[in-house]
Amino acid sequence: MRDASTAARPQDREQNAERLLRASAKHSYDPLTAIDWDAPVDPEQFALPAHRVSLHGTPMWHALGPRQRARLSVDQFASATSAGIWFELILMEGLVRHVYASDLTTRHAQYALTEVADECRHSTMFARYISTVGYPSARPSRRAQRLGRLHFLLNDTAMTFAGAIFVEEFADAMQREMIRDEGLQPLARAVARIHVIEEARHIGYAKPELERRWARMSAPRRAVFRRALAVLAQQSVAEIVHPRVYARAGLDPVAAQRAAHLNPYWRDARVDWARKAVGFFTELGIIDRSVEPMWRRAALLAPR
Ligand SMILES: [Fe+2]
Ligand SMILES: [Fe+2]
């Protein structure tokens, strides 16, 4: 396990923030002008690789035609981006609170504001993607809205950073696969490319912050934190495929959710996309034997 006792001393914290600010100045994008939103969208093209669509390989999948499968992948990506907006709004709120409690002459606080600006552009980009491909809504599920309200109430900065690391690493893994696959919809890949580049900095900001806060946490608080993060991770991933995705494909949403839940392809996708975050949390001891079964049940950790 990593020794976090020396994590992020004030000078290291400032150096890290300085580096991130410099990288932001060089590689930041305005998605409204950097992406060609008017280019025609080919209805035959997938947005996610076929084997990463939640129903891939199931009898329901085999009953769909090629164009319906492509549409299902586009809707799944649109649903994932709407979950992204939900999460980014929560994160922005957490970062603003973090800044409010900080000294804005520090690079550390200035970078937090820079990250808020990045997330503002991302949420706008995701919303634009959703409306461009004709997905009907960016509203999160009721369950997700409740979780968001709970996060606002608890005001736990360590949890904000831990949640950010989980969601950002998960999205990063998914979107890197999209960037690599040249056969996928160019619009979806353009969105993924901008997001991957800018999110790498956010992960580099959140990790030492979480290490620092975790090192100071008492044993009883750690025990609660471990469980709370497992719940947050599980709920965030559940939010990725909203049941309306299935309803729009003419499928029974309850039966489709059950089929996805049992689908080994979909379990592999979640385990693969969660791998980096799970590795980091395990190294710190935020995932240990007491909560491993929760991560396994959520299909975010491979079965033994
Ligand atoms: Fe983002
Ligand atoms: Fe981010």
Query: How many helices (H) does the chain have, and how many strands (E)?
Result: 13, 0
Q: Which amino acid is at 95?
A: L
274 CB-near residues (< 8 Å, 6+ apart) = 166, 169, 170, 173, 233, 237, 295, 300, 301
pLDDT score, position 165: 98
Q: How far is the CA of 251 from the centre of ligand 2 (A)?
A: 33
The answer to whether position 263 is within a domain reads: yes
Of all ligands present, the nearest one to the C-alpha of 126 is 1
pLDDT tens digits for 202-222? 999 999 999 999 999 999 999
Q: How far is the CA of 219 from the centre of ligand 2 (A)?
A: 29
CA 161, 23, 116, 34 dihedral sign is: negative
The answer to whether position 126 is within a domain reads: yes
Q: How far is the CA of 250 from the centre of ligand 1 (A)?
A: 31
Compute the 3-state secondary structure of the chain and give helix, strand, coil in percent, each to the nearest 5: 70, 0, 30
CB distance 178 to 273 below 8 Å:
no
Residue given tokens 């290490």 in the structure block: 211
pLDDT score, position 6: 47
CB distance 129 to 188 below 8 Å:
yes
Q: How far is the CA of 67 from the centre of ligand 2 (A)?
A: 32
The answer to whether position 254 is within a domain reads: yes
pLDDT score, position 9: 79
The answer to whether position 139 is within a domain reads: yes
Q: How far is the CA of 64 from the centre of ligand 1 (A)?
A: 32
Q: How far is the CA of 140 from the centre of ligand 2 (A)?
A: 18
* CA gap 54, 144 in Å, rounded: 19
Q: How far is the CA of 203 from the centre of ligand 2 (A)?
A: 7
Q: How far is the CA of 292 from the centre of ligand 2 (A)?
A: 26
Number of domains in the chain: 1
The answer to whether position 38 is within a domain reads: no
As given in the structure block, the two tokens for residue 126 are 């995701």
Query: What is the full DSSP assignment across 241-261?
Result: S-THHHHHTTS-HHHHHHHHH
Q: How far is the CA of 165 from the centre of ligand 2 (A)?
A: 8
The answer to whether position 302 is within a domain reads: no
Q: How far is the CA of 124 from the centre of ligand 2 (A)?
A: 13
Q: How far is the CA of 24 from the centre of ligand 2 (A)?
A: 12
The answer to whether position 73 is within a domain reads: yes
pLDDT score, position 54: 98
CB distance 291 to 230 below 8 Å:
yes
Q: What is the CATH number of the domain that holds 219?
A: 1.10.620.20
As given in the structure block, the two tokens for residue 94 are 């957490």
pLDDT score, position 8: 58
The answer to whether position 233 is within a domain reads: yes
Q: How far is the CA of 193 from the centre of ligand 2 (A)?
A: 13
Q: How far is the CA of 59 from the centre of ligand 2 (A)?
A: 36
Burial class (CB in 10 A: 0-12, 13-18, 19+), 42: exposed
Give the pLDDT means over successive 10-residue stretches in the chain (304 positions): 56 95 96 96 97 98 97 98 95 95 95 98 98 92 89 88 97 98 98 96 96 97 96 93 95 97 97 98 98 96 87
Of all ligands present, the nearest one to the C-alpha of 119 is 1
pLDDT score, position 2: 54
Domain hosting residue 103, numbered range? 10-31+56-297
Q: How far is the CA of 224 from the centre of ligand 2 (A)?
A: 25
Of all ligands present, the nearest one to the C-alpha of 112 is 2
